[in-house]
Amino acid sequence: MAGAARRRRAGSALLAVAAVVAVLATLAVVVVVLPGLVVERDLGGAEISAAERLGAVNNVRTTLVQAVAGTVVLFGAYATWRQLRVNQEGLNATREGHITDRFSRAVDQLGSEKTDVRIGGLYALWRIADHSAHDRATVVSIKAAFLRTHLPWPPPGQDSPATEVSINSVPPLETRAPDAQVALTGLGVLCQERRPDWLNVSYTDLRRADCDGLWLHHINFDGACLEAASIYKVNLTKASLIAANMRHVELGTSILHQCRCIEADLRGARMVRADFSDADFSDADLREANLRKARGHGAKFAGADLRRADLRGTDLAGADLTRANLEGALASDATIWPTDFDIQAAGVVMVEDPGAEPSILLQAAAITRSVPPLRSP
């Protein structure tokens, strides 16, 4: 084996020497022989002085040397570009290998029995998504799957508060399941740059979750429990919340364009200054909900229960209130109703408008506040 290696090295050295000799011979021909031949051909047998012939040969030689130099420069530039490209491909391959290793380790961490290890894995995936747009959609899907598997609704065991307990006795999500809160926050941040593909987070236990400022558009929350969650200034455009439990949820100033809240339980929800234009609340329960100064242009409330809801200053122009129950709902002169809607026949109570709606308190308190009992059964 050693002898074969020596022979290969010797053969490579001989080839290199032969290549150098060939290059030098070619240069000698180009610089010494070829200029004279070119001049003789151009003269075509004409007689000129020795000085003129030498000048002509030197001119041709200079031109040929410049051409050779230009060729060498171009070849060097191509070789450099090619080497840079090879190096870049190598760096990319190395980088992809590192990302794959980090990705695998982070996913393995999600299966740990220790909460802090799972949180570390979720943050590692988040960082990978920030640095690799190619992996962002995969990371978002993993976070959604993490929520579905770790916080199913209804809760299957004793580790989570039971379904029937008072919401006031349920700790915020960030304390009872901090890893799930990290997954939800990461998902809502990464979704800002996500294409509008459908994402499944249905039937999850998100009671008292902190969703403030997140992007949760085109997400399926069907059947999920978001009771007393803080969803302040959240983008829920085209999200699906069919049959979701959203009692006492904070939806102030959130965007719910074309959101599907069919048969959702929104009793006692705060939707102050929210924009739910063209949203669908058909057969939803909105008793005692606060919709002051909200924009509901073109929204559907067919069959919805709006008894004792606060509609002062709410824009309901073009809304569908077919079969909606508004008995005891509060309204003011600033409330905008659909054309020809009979508020007296609907049982709406006209009261004084409260004026400009103040900003709500810091959202840290929204997921820890004690919610009042509902007056509606």
- Whether the pLDDT of residue 12 is over 60: the answer is yes
Q: How confident is the model at residue 373 (pLDDT cuts 50, 70, 90)?
A: confident
- Whether the pLDDT of residue 47 is over 80: the answer is no
- The Cβ of residue 41 has, within 10 Å, a number of other Cβ atoms equal to 8
Partnered with residue 325 across adjacent β-strands are 305
- Whether the pLDDT of residue 360 is over 70: the answer is no
> What phi, psi does 291 have (nearest 5°)?
-115, 25
Angle CA 296–334–308, to nearest 5:
65
- Whether the pLDDT of residue 325 is over 80: the answer is yes
Q: How confident is the model at residue 79 (pLDDT cuts 50, 70, 90)?
A: confident
Q: How confident is the model at residue 178 (pLDDT cuts 50, 70, 90)?
A: very high
- Mean pLDDT of the residues in the chain: 87
Q: Which residues of 159-196 are buried (b: 16+ CB within 10 A; e: fewer)?
A: ebbeeeeebeebebbbebbbbbbbbbbbbbbbbeebee
CA distance 196 to 189: 14
Give me the pLDDT at residue 369, please. Answer: 81
Mean pLDDT of 87-96: 64
Q: Name residue 288's amino acid.
A: E
Mean pLDDT of 247-271: 96
- Whether the pLDDT of residue 155 is over 70: the answer is yes
Give me the pLDDT at residue 50, please. Answer: 67
Prior bond of 154 cis (ω within 30°): yes
CA distance 88 to 95: 10
3-state SS, one letter per residue, for 10-62: HHHHHHHHHHHHHHHHHHHHHHHHHHHHHHHHHHCCCCCCHHHHHHHHHHHHH
CA distance 354 to 75: 79
Give me the pLDDT at residue 375, please. Answer: 86
- Token pair 């599907």 is at which residue? 260
- Whether the pLDDT of residue 127 is over 80: the answer is yes
* Residue of 314, 23, 368 lying closest to 326 (CA atoms): 314
- Whether the pLDDT of residue 310 is over 60: the answer is yes
Mean pLDDT of 130-151: 92
Taking the model in full, what pTM does it have? 0.76
Give me the pLDDT at residue 92, please. Answer: 61
Supply 247's token pair: 């009692």
Mean pLDDT of 349-374: 77
